[in-house]
């Protein structure tokens, strides 16, 4: 599978349109179309990095240098998520998923907000 096919597959799996994907990585819809058709060979590194981060894959996977997802890493991640859910519930898993979407600034803010909430008695069990 070439880079364009991978981008298209990942975009569709994520339920995004070409226009939405373009907005997220900062290019026009026409650029996404060209990427997916294999008409652009030298996609900017910054765009490849944004695609990899968005789709939660490695840049080398986007570029076609890795043939498959790392199944062992995926299995470990699934096991960890199951353990967290079993120990702390679905809300904890959702909280982690949302936290992972944040950049460093957002993560710091989230930790501060949670710390503030733990100081307010009405939010305790």
Check: CB of residue 3 under 8 Å from CB of residue 39: no
Neighbours of 3 (CB within 10 A): 20
**If you ran DSSP here, which 8-state letter would residue 7 be given?**
H
Identify the structural domains of the chain with CATH numbers, from first to last: 3-62 (1.10.260.40), 71-123 (no CATH)
Question: What CA–CA distance (Å, rounded) separates 65 from 23?
Answer: 26
pTM over 0.75: no
- Residues 35-50 have pLDDT tens digits of 999 998 789 999 999 9
Instruction: Specify the residue for token string 């009405």.
Output: 122
Q: pLDDT class for 77, splitting at 50, 70, 90?
A: confident
């Amino acid at each position: 599978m070439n880079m364009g096919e991978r981008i298209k597959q990942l975009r569709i799996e994520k339920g995004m349109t070409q226009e939405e994907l373009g907005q997220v990585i900062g290019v026009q819809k026409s650029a996404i179309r060209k990427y997916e058709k294999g008409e652009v060979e030298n996609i900017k590194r910054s765009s490849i990095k944004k695609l990899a981060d968005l789709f939660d894959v490695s840049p080398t996977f986007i570029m076609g240098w890795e043939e498959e997802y790392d199944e062992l890493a995926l299995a470990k991640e699934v096991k960890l998520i199951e353990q967290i859910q079993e120990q702390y519930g679905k809300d904890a898993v959702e909280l982690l998923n949302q936290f992972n979407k944040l950049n460093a600034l957002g993560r710091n803010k989230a930790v501060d907000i949670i710390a503030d909430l733990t100081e307010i008695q009405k939010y305790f069990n």
